[in-house]
């Protein structure tokens, strides 16, 4: 059996000059960070959400709620890793995850491979990343936030 899941995450840009921007486990020094309970790594969150959805395990908010102090300022690669572990424990093998990050800034091309390595290591499966610009349209185009969309493919570990 094969299952597909979609994930989505979006966070607003922070006004806190000490908040670090983290995307795909990469720090983007000199860029404004995102507001969030954890490190607000939208590609990692979207990937985790896609995996959980594909496995029928709910969503990221059910497993890693923003009112749980244990996830405060957490490294989102840990969230992705734990989501992947839940998926595997439920009898699924992760085929791959594809993530699209929507932002006009920062430019992601020079860090794409590093993000892919970080996310793939956390998921224990191939994760691809690409950037998409909002072309100045809406809140994302005005650089008020960053969003990510993800698709995950799972296969049943044991056919029934």
Tens-place pLDDT, residues 103-160: 999 999 999 999 999 999 999 999 999 999 999 999 999 999 999 999 999 999 976 5
Q: 39: domain CATH number?
A: 3.30.1330.50
Residue 159: what pLDDT? 65
Per the structure, the count of domains in the chain is 1
Residue 128: what pLDDT? 98
Q: Which tokens hold the place of 100?
A: 């699209």
Distance CA 36, CA 31 (A): 16
CB atoms within 10 A of CB 39: 25
Share of the chain above pLDDT 90, in %: 92
Residue 1: what pLDDT? 93
Confidence of residue 70 (pLDDT cuts 50, 70, 90): confident
Residue 112: what pLDDT? 97
For residue 39, which of 5, 6, 59, 64 has the smallest C-alpha distance? 64
Write out the residue range of the structural domain in which residue 140 sits: 2-156
Distance CA 79, CA 29 (A): 22
pLDDT one-digit tens code per residue, 15-61: 999 999 999 999 999 999 999 999 999 999 999 999 999 999 999 99
């Amino acid at each position: 059996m094969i299952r597909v899941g979609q994930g989505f995450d979006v966070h607003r840009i922070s006004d806190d000059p000490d908040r670090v921007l983290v995307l795909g486990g990469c720090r983007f020094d000199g860029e404004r960070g995102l507001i969030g309970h954890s490190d607000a790594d939208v590609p990692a969150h979207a990937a985790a959400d896609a995996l959980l959805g594909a496995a029928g395990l709910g969503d990221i908010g059910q497993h890693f709620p923003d009112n749980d102090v244990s996830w405060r300022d957490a490294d989102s690669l840990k969230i992705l890793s734990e989501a992947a572990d839940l998926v595997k424990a439920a009898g699924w093998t992760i085929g791959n995850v594809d993530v699209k990050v929507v932002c006009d800034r920062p430019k992601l091309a020079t860090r794409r491979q590093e993000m892919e390595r970080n996310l793939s290591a956390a998921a224990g499966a191939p994760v691809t990343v690409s950037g998409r610009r909002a072309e100045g349209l809406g809140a994302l185009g005005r650089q008020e936030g960053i969003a990510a969309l993800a698709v995950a493919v799972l296969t049943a570990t044991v056919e029934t």
